Amino acid sequence: MINVAILGFGVVGSGAAEVLADNRHVIEKNLGKAVAVKRILDLRDFPNSPFGSLVTHDFNDILNDPEISIVAEMMGGSHPAYDFTKACLQAGKSVVTSNKEVVANFGAELLELAAKNGVRYLFEASVGGGIPIIRPMVNDLASNEIISVNGILNGTTNYILTKMLDEGASYADVLKDAQDKGYAERNPAADVEGLDAARKIVILAALSFGKLLDPGKIHCEGITKITAEDASVAKALGCSVKLIGHTELVDGRVLAMVSPRLIPCSNPLAGVSDVFNGILVDANMLGECMFYGKGAGKLPTASAVVADIIDIVAHMGQDRVRAPKFEVAGDADYADFSAYKCRTMLAFEDVAENYDKLEKLFGVTAKFSHGRLVIVTDEMTEAEVDQKIAESGLAVLSRIRFL
């Protein structure tokens, strides 16, 4: 019998307890041994939960219990989650987590600490919820050099953008609908401003290129400025609009960014709708490969947490296990965002004189579309686009990059 402790009995934490209980026969069949929750740490009590008797308010009940060999941290937030994780690893307990904030901020240090203590730190559930992505990147793509990763990493914003495009509704109306349905939080900032996606793309960039960037230091644009007009221009261009976490190497340095993107319908990411997530990995031998599924939710996310627990149990007592390795990025590891190249959609006021100016500057014919003057640039750097906009002297109504 393997004893597990759960830190944080919220949505995902209670889901993990349920998965371990409801699927115990599958898990036992796969492992040849049973796994059970012994303790649950939470500030609250849960008298009506079947797991209520396992709850403790004292972390030391878990830390000092030699029978608990695996701790599943699903508290959210950096502190005390990080501190508890560190203490568990130092005490020789393996830790699994769904907490992208801790992985994005402290993942390199915690992986190193786990290795030093002969235990493991796994975080499949931190990106893409239940979708297998971390382990496939570490194991299945080990024969490949990663070229780029593009991911729809946040279900809330994908739901909002899908509705805006399908129904032509405004951002504010759809956000309210998403909040009513429980798809968006009352304070939706971390989702709609892109921070949640930034943490996830930083984790995927670390797996791809070995350097863990600070999510606060990458280019991060949310979806709050996307308008119904943008949605209708996108449709006219044969594109979908998605909030994309993107990472690639630019001149040997790591670029990671989050921004809304115009995605041609032929791209498999264009079909990833509603609250689903999709992660498209381009690798030098494999080519493009997409992982698709439920990027959030109680049981899907918990199923990834439990997959990590099973992985640890399956390899217990072995001196060598496969683990992701990355280090904290130094200043020199960050690519210069202004050198990032792509095609960009720019919208201006629909006035005849603007047409000539834009054609001269960008060498492309502007289109009158949906009450706006819309141009699509050739592939050019951020710096070039900035400079041309400055030269034009015009106010940009909207600027959305193509993927």
Residues acting as catalytic residues: 200
Q: Any contact of residue 291 with its own copies (CB under 8 A)?
A: yes
DSSP 115-140: HHTT--EE-GGGSSTTS--HHIIIII
Q: Any contact of residue 21 with its own copies (CB under 8 A)?
A: no
Tell me how far apart the alpha carbons of residues 169 and 181 are, in angstroms, rounded to a whole number. 16
| Cα dist from 98 to 103, 173, 243, 272, whole Å | 9, 30, 21, 22
Fill in the DSSP letter of residue 330: P
Tell me how far apart the alpha carbons of residues 225 and 149 are, in angstroms, rounded to a whole number. 24
- Near its own copies by CB under 8 A: residue from 288, 327, 350, 384: 288
Q: 23 with 29: CB under 8 angstroms?
A: no
Q: 173 with 212: CB under 8 angstroms?
A: no
Cα-Cα-Cα-Cα dihedral sign, residues 5, 9, 13, 16: positive
Share in percent of the chain as helix, strand, coil (round to 5): 40, 25, 35
Binding residues for its own copies restricted to 119-158, rule: CB under 8 A: 124, 130-132, 135-136, 139-145
Choose between 142 and 390: whose C-beta lies nearer to its own copies: 142
* Strand 219-220 versus strand 253-264 pairing type: parallel
Binding residues for its own copies restricted to 31-50, rule: CB under 8 A: 31
Cis? peptide before 215, omega within 30° of 0: no
Least distance from C-beta 165 to its own copies, angstroms?
15
Q: Any contact of residue 182 with its own copies (CB under 8 A)?
A: no
Q: Any contact of residue 80 with its own copies (CB under 8 A)?
A: no
Q: Any contact of residue 303 with its own copies (CB under 8 A)?
A: yes
Choose between 253 and 315: whose C-beta lies nearer to its own copies: 315
Task: Dig out the tokens for 164 from the structure.
Answer: 């805006």
Q: Any contact of residue 117 with its own copies (CB under 8 A)?
A: no
Binding residues for its own copies restricted to 230-269, rule: CB under 8 A: 268
Least distance from C-beta 137 to its own copies, angstroms?
9
Choose between 37 and 175: whose C-beta lies nearer to its own copies: 37
- Residue 44 makes CB contacts below 8 A (sequence gap 6+) with 9, 55
Binding residues for its own copies restricted to 317-346, rule: CB under 8 A: 317-320, 322
Query: Position 294: which residue type?
Result: K
* β-bridge partners, 381: 341
Tell me how far apart the alpha carbons of residues 140 and 322 are, in angstroms, rounded to a whole number. 12
- Near its own copies by CB under 8 A: residue from 72, 113, 302, 345: 302
Block residue for tokens 């200043």: 331
- Near its own copies by CB under 8 A: residue from 63, 286, 328, 376: 286
Tell me how far apart the alpha carbons of residues 19 and 371 are, in angstroms, rounded to a whole number. 52
Q: Any contact of residue 284 with its own copies (CB under 8 A)?
A: yes
Least distance from C-beta 276 to its own copies, angstroms?
8
Least distance from C-beta 267 to its own copies, angstroms?
10
- Near its own copies by CB under 8 A: residue from 95, 306, 366, 403: 306
Least distance from C-beta 309 to its own copies, angstroms?
8
Q: Any contact of residue 287 with its own copies (CB under 8 A)?
A: yes
- Near its own copies by CB under 8 A: residue from 2, 6, 27, 345: 27
Q: 5 with 289: CB under 8 angstroms?
A: no
Least distance from C-beta 205 to its own copies, angstroms?
16
Helices 11-22 and 24-31: angle between axes, nearest 10 degrees: 70
Q: Any contact of residue 112 with its own copies (CB under 8 A)?
A: no
Tell me how far apart the alpha carbons of residues 221 and 64 are, in angstroms, rounded to a whole number. 44
Least distance from C-beta 253 to its own copies, angstroms?
18
Number of residues that bind its own copies (CB under 8 A): 53
Sites of contact with its own copies (CB under 8 A): 19, 22-23, 26-27, 30-31, 124, 130-132, 135-136, 139-145, 268, 271-272, 283-294, 297, 299-300, 302-304, 306-307, 309-311, 314-315, 317-320, 322
